[in-house]
């Protein structure tokens, strides 16, 4: 009795799990850590810019009635304004970094959990994760129904885009994509059924 080897790469990948073929060819813990760190850095940059601008406007409004009238006065005025802008930027940057890092960590962790539950990884897990987190975000901030719907639409667009990019990279690297593999198995089953039909006389 002889054993036959798989005749194609698809057959050899059918038994693989998400842990065996991680997204973006990066182990799941590292991918979650990198994603969280990247989101935190982006959040810090955006928060620092917004916080610095708001602090400058606040400083100008608070000192509008006592503008300096000497060269030394203007020097210390701008020095104080820049100090307040830097301080406000750092505070807002850290606050925004914490928020973006937390929600990104939640979404990436949930994406991985859905992958394990479904037994395969594709953009549908990403969509489920982003929509779920957007709902939690809307509830946490007590958004109105219209605002929550707009947030869900943005999450859907992001999930399709980010998940689709991951799937394209995965296909290029030979990673099995759940819905692609299901389609291949279905087509293969139909071909097998057609080949077993008796020939017409």
Residue 74 Ramachandran class (φ > 0 left, ψ -120 to 50 alpha, else beta) = alpha
Contacts 24+ apart (CB under 8 A), 184-190: 184/10, 185/14
pLDDT one digit per residue (tens) for the chain, 201 residues: 444 444 444 444 444 556 567 888 889 999 999 999 999 999 999 999 999 999 999 999 998 888 888 999 899 999 999 999 999 999 999 999 999 999 999 999 999 999 999 888 889 999 999 999 999 999 999 999 999 999 999 999 999 999 999 999 888 888 888 788 888 888 776 666 666 655 545
Is the torsion defined by CA of 139, 101, 105, 170 positive or negative?
positive
Q: Please name the residue that has the structure tokens 């054993």.
A: 3
Task: Quote the pLDDT of residue 191.
Answer: 62
In the numeric block, which tokens belong to residue 76? 């210390």
Q: What was the pLDDT predicted at 101?
A: 97
Round to whole Å and give the CA distance between 60 and 87: 15
The pTM score is 0.77
- What token pair was written down for 67? 């503008």
Cα–Cα distance between 107 and 115 in angstroms, integer?
Answer: 12
Look up tokens 């020097």; give the residue.
75
End-to-end Cα distance, the chain: 36
């Amino acid at each position: 009795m002889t054993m036959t080897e798989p005749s194609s790469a698809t057959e050899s990948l059918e038994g693989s799990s998400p842990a065996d073929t991680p997204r973006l060819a990066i182990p799941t813990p590292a991918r979650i850590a990198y994603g969280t760190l990247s989101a935190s850095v982006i959040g810090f940059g955006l928060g620092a810019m917004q916080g610095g601008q708001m602090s400058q406007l606040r400083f100008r409004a608070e000192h509008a009635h006592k503008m300096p009238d000497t060269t030394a006065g203007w020097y210390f005025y701008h020095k104080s304004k820049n100090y307040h802008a830097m301080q406000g930027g750092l505070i807002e940057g850290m606050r925004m970094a914490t928020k973006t890092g937390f929600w990104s960590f939640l979404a990436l962790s949930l994406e991985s959990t859905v992958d394990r539950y479904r037994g395969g990884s594709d953009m549908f897990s990403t969509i489920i994760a982003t929509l779920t987190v957007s709902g939690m975000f809307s509830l946490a901030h007590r958004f109105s129904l219209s605002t929550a719907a707009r947030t869900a639409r943005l999450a859907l667009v992001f999930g399709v885009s980010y998940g689709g990019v991951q799937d394209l990279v995965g296909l290029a690297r030979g990673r099995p994509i759940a819905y692609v593999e299901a389609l291949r198995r279905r087509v293969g089953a139909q071909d097998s059924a057609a080949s077993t039909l008796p020939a017409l006389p």
